Chain A
Amino acid sequence: MLGEFEYLLITAAAGLGHEGYGAAIRQQIETVTGRKCSIGALYTTIDRLESKGFLKTWMGDATPQRGGRAKRMVQVTPEGLRAARDFYETVMRASRGASWVAHGWSQ
């Protein structure tokens, strides 16, 4: 099963579609979670997911706002989508009946 960060990364990459690459995925994760996402965590997780067959990556075009450097493009594979859906369903099943789900969140 995927880990939490792996799930976040696959979800961000899937949402970005053909625009998925390192900086965009990182920004998406930071916006959704409200936490800083380190480059080290991002790229080592991308490698791990790629070796599991959940992502496909390739070097894209260079742009001037990147100082003429290429992007590492990321695309989620059908296996990756399946793994993310399994994770989501597991979390939903595990959360059924939990107090914060049944009564709503209050501090």
Chain B
Amino acid sequence: MKGGRMLLDSLAQLLERDEREAVLGDMAETGESTGQAVWNVCGLLLRRQLACWNDWRPWIAAFGIAFPFSFPLMGFSVSLSLTSLQIIDPATHQITNSGVKLLLGKLLLLTGWSWTGGFVTGSVSRRTLWVSALLALLPCCFCLSRFRIEHLHGFSLLLFLPPAIQGVRQGLRMTRLRLRSAVLVASATTLLTVVPGIMTSPSLLNLALSWPAWYLVAAAGIKRRGTGEQHA
């Protein structure tokens, strides 16, 4: 039964502290077997997860950001990697100014898209974050297994992940940005999308990648208006 006890303790760790305390105490008091206790905790965890999905936010995080964003962000990661190979002029073997500007522009855009996507995902779907993470990583594994581009390592597909993970971490802590910071990030991301040269053409799909940034602006604006009304 030692394995069962370990399983029960591990599952109980997924509950919030007070709830874990109450549930494990109740089961100890009623003398439930380890098997029954595991079954009960699984049932509670399942109900808690299902209850989260009654809200619109986990759906937006999983199917509005995590899954659909991973494909274009992988594509843009590869584009950034290819640009990094082309900044040296083959004739002179010198780094070109235009190449560096293009590389910096793409790097900023990729960071902006990934970070804001991660931030919104982390802030609106704390309890269902594992589903969003899974939905973002599945396409990565699929593309990584089929990646064949000369001179590029497979991991160049995943350049968007570090800023996205950082965004998730900050989203879990902060929930929303200040209005000024949010407007700055959203404007910069959108402007970089329409700057000629960085993207081959500013398509609707590329502009759509900026929606989490504008969501942050809206969330910060609503918060600020609420605070203003409270003070009034």
Mark contacts of B25-64 with chain A using CB atoms, 8 A cut-off: 1 yes-contact digit, 0 otherwise: 1111110000000001101111110010000000000000
| Segment among B15-23, B109-117, B218-226 that sits at the interface with chain A | B15-23
Q: Which of B21, B22, B26, B51 contacts A44 (CB 8 A)?
A: B51
| Segment among A9-17, A33-41, A82-90, A96-104 that sits at the interface with chain B | A33-41
Give bound CA distance, A53 to B64, whole Å: 33
Give bound CA distance, A27 to B45, whole Å: 21
The answer to whether B24 has its CB under 8 Å from any CB of chain A is yes
* CB of A14 to closest CB in B, whole Å: 19
- Interface magnitude class on chain A: 20 to 34
Contact check, B44 vs A23: say whether CB atoms are below 8 A apart: no
Contact check, B26 vs A23: say whether CB atoms are below 8 A apart: yes
Contact check, A39 vs B28: say whether CB atoms are below 8 A apart: no
Instruction: Name the residue of chain A whose CB is nearest to the CB of B37.
Output: A39
Give bound CA distance, A69 to B41, whole Å: 16
Q: Which of A39, A59, A67, A70 contacts B41 (CB 8 A)?
A: A39
Contact check, B30 vs A27: say whether CB atoms are below 8 A apart: yes
Contact check, B26 vs A40: say whether CB atoms are below 8 A apart: no
How many pairs of residues, A versus B, come closer than 8 Å at their CB atoms? 71
Contact check, A43 vs B21: say whether CB atoms are below 8 A apart: no
The answer to whether A56 has its CB under 8 Å from any CB of chain B is no
With A23-B30, A44-B51 given, is the CB distance from A39 to B44 under 8 Å?
yes
- What chain A residues lie within 8 Å of B18 (beta carbons)? 59, 70, 72
- What chain B residues lie within 8 Å of A21 (beta carbons)? 22, 26
* CB of B62 to closest CB in A, whole Å: 22
Instruction: Name the residue of chain A whose CB is nearest to the CB of B27.
Output: A39
The answer to whether A2 has its CB under 8 Å from any CB of chain B is no
Interface, chain A (partner B; CB < 8 A): 21-23, 26-27, 38-41, 43-44, 59, 62-63, 65-67, 69-72
Q: List 21 A-B contacts (CB under 8 A).
A: A21-B26, A22-B22, A26-B30, A27-B30, A38-B44, A39-B41, A40-B45, A40-B47, A41-B47, A59-B18, A59-B21, A62-B25, A63-B25, A66-B28, A67-B24, A69-B22, A69-B25, A70-B21, A71-B22, A71-B25, A71-B26
